């Protein structure tokens, strides 16, 4: 048997989905705590965090440029969503008017304030977009009512979904503003993970909603922190207790029916604040948290811990096995998955 034939046979029998092969640290040029990351392509990546920080790379992370959002130096941008190389939305968190949504359409040269929260009891946590025009944003509940905003015109107008369309919130139910990844939108499907370890679900673009209880434990500092879906059926939620980071106790669940029911899976090596499928696969999943990272190549049934430092958020470029993770003191890593 020739060496070439042997290599061909080995390649043919290797699993199609494998874990990350490299985590390459990059120099972000900032020291802020980074909580949001969104890749528009293998070249253009956006990240966001504390102290009004938003940075952008157009060369795959080799260099990063800090962008200036007017009157936002004290804001904490926990979520950034890029819908193209030049267009992105940034969400800041906090009570009252600290919760805002900004948009840029010129690669960050200028920003438009699209939404400023005027309810002192609301606290917006995350957002997600189906495309450049349709998006959703989620706040902690107010007086037993969920607060979900929707836009259908690229953020020019944000309107609140009627309370009658949503289930009642449990006392104090909201979301953790940890990585901007507890809201997922795929076409007309929307999923939102809450602090009460429940998943809100809409199958008609937000006109009507149902809610599913998941087996992940909840508590004052525990619950669902991140939601990801590979397609309309296969999804995963992660979380845990952020005050007990090294402990991994029933903090992962998967679904194969679009989020109607969830099955508990063990195997994560700690609290995890973000999870993502590698695009094009419903098997390879990466989860990150401040204490480390874990990778599954079988749809979330089994997990392997990845060596290295921890991160708060993760995102992959569309249709690519290249992604980025962000964390403390401006830490950024480029991830390559075979």
- Domains of the chain are 20-337 (2.130.10.10)
Say what the pLDDT of residue 246 is: 83
- CA-to-CA distance for 252 and 52, rounded, in angstroms? 32
From residue 286, how far is each of 178, 289, 297, 335 by CA, in Å?
A: 16, 10, 9, 10
- CA-to-CA distance for 162 and 143, rounded, in angstroms? 14
Model confidence at 309, in pLDDT bands (50, 70, 90)? confident
pLDDT average, residue stretch 303-317: 93
Model confidence at 153, in pLDDT bands (50, 70, 90)? very high
Q: Which 3-state string (H, E, C) describes 11-40?
A: HHHCCCCCCEEEEEEECCCCCCCEEEEEEC
Torsion angles phi and psi, residue 290, rounded to 5: -60, -25
pLDDT tens across 184-238, in order? 999 999 999 999 999 999 999 999 999 999 999 999 999 999 999 999 999 999 9
From residue 69, how far is each of 35, 76, 86, 95, 185 by CA, in Å?
A: 17, 12, 15, 19, 26
pLDDT tens across 16-56, in order? 344 446 899 999 999 999 999 999 999 999 999 999 999 99
Of the two residues 246 and 322, the one the predictor is more confident about is 322
pLDDT average, residue stretch 317-337: 97
Model confidence at 4, in pLDDT bands (50, 70, 90)? very low
pLDDT average, residue stretch 322-334: 98
- CA-to-CA distance for 30 and 16, rounded, in angstroms? 37
Q: Look over the chain and give the mean of its residue pLDDT values, rounded to a whole number.
A: 93
Model confidence at 12, in pLDDT bands (50, 70, 90)? very low
Residue 11 has pLDDT above 70, yes or no: no
Mapped onto helix, strand or coil, the DSSP state of residue 96 is: helix
Say what the pLDDT of residue 62 is: 97
Say what the pLDDT of residue 21 is: 63
Exposure string over 86-124, b if 16+ CB within 10 A, otherwise e: bbbbbbbbbeeeebbbbbbbebbeebeebbebeeeebbb
Say what the pLDDT of residue 102 is: 98
Residue 8 has pLDDT above 70, yes or no: no
- CA-to-CA distance for 89 and 317, rounded, in angstroms? 16
Within 10 Å of residue 258's Cβ, how many Cβ atoms? 18
The percentage of residues in the chain with a pLDDT greater than 90, rounded to a whole number, is 90
Residue 273 has pLDDT above 50, yes or no: yes
**Polymer length in residues for the chain:** 338
- CA-to-CA distance for 115 and 135, rounded, in angstroms? 13
Stated pTM of the model: 0.92
Say what the pLDDT of residue 49 is: 98
């Amino acid at each position: 048997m020739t060496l070439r034939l042997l290599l061909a046979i080995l390649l043919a029998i290797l699993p199609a989905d494998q874990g990350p092969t490299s985590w390459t640290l990059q120099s972000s040029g900032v020291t802020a705590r980074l909580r949001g990351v969104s890749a528009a392509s293998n070249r253009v990546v956006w990240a966001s965090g504390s102290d009004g920080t938003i940075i952008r790379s157009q060369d795959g992370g080799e260099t990063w440029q800090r962008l200036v959002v007017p009157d936002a130096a004290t804001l904490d941008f926990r979520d950034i969503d890029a819908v193209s190389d030049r267009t992105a939305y940034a969400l800041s968190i906090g009570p009252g008017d600290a919760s805002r949504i900004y948009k840029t359409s010129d690669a960050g040269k200028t920003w438009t304030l699209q939404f400023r929260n005027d309810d002192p009891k609301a606290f917006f946590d995350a957002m997600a977009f189906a495309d450049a025009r349709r998006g959703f944003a989620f706040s902690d509940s107010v007086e037993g009512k969920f607060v979900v905003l929707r836009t259908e015109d690229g953020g020019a107008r944000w309107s609140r979904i009627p309370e009658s369309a949503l289930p009642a919130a449990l006392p104090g139910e909201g979301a953790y503003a940890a990585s901007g990844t507890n809201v997922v939108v795929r076409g007309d499907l929307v999923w939102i993970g809450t602090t009460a370890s429940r998943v809100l679900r809409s199958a008609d673009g937000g006109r009507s909603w149902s809610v599913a209880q998941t087996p992940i434990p909840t508590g004052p500092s525990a619950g669902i922190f991140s939601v990801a879906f590979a397609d309309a059926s296969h999804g995963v939620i992660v979380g845990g207790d952020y005050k007990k980071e090294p402990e991994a106790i029933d903090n992962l669940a998967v679904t194969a029916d679009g989020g109607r029911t969830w099955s508990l899976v063990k195997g994560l090596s700690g609290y995890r604040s973000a999870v993502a499928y590698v695009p094009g696969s419903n098997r390879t999943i990466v989860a990150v948290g401040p204490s480390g990272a874990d990778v599954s190549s079988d749809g979330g049934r089994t997990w392997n811990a990845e060596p290295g430092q921890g991160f708060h958020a993760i995102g992959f470029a569309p249709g690519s096995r290249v992604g980025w993770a962000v964390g403390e003191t401006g830490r950024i890593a480029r991830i390559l998955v075979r």
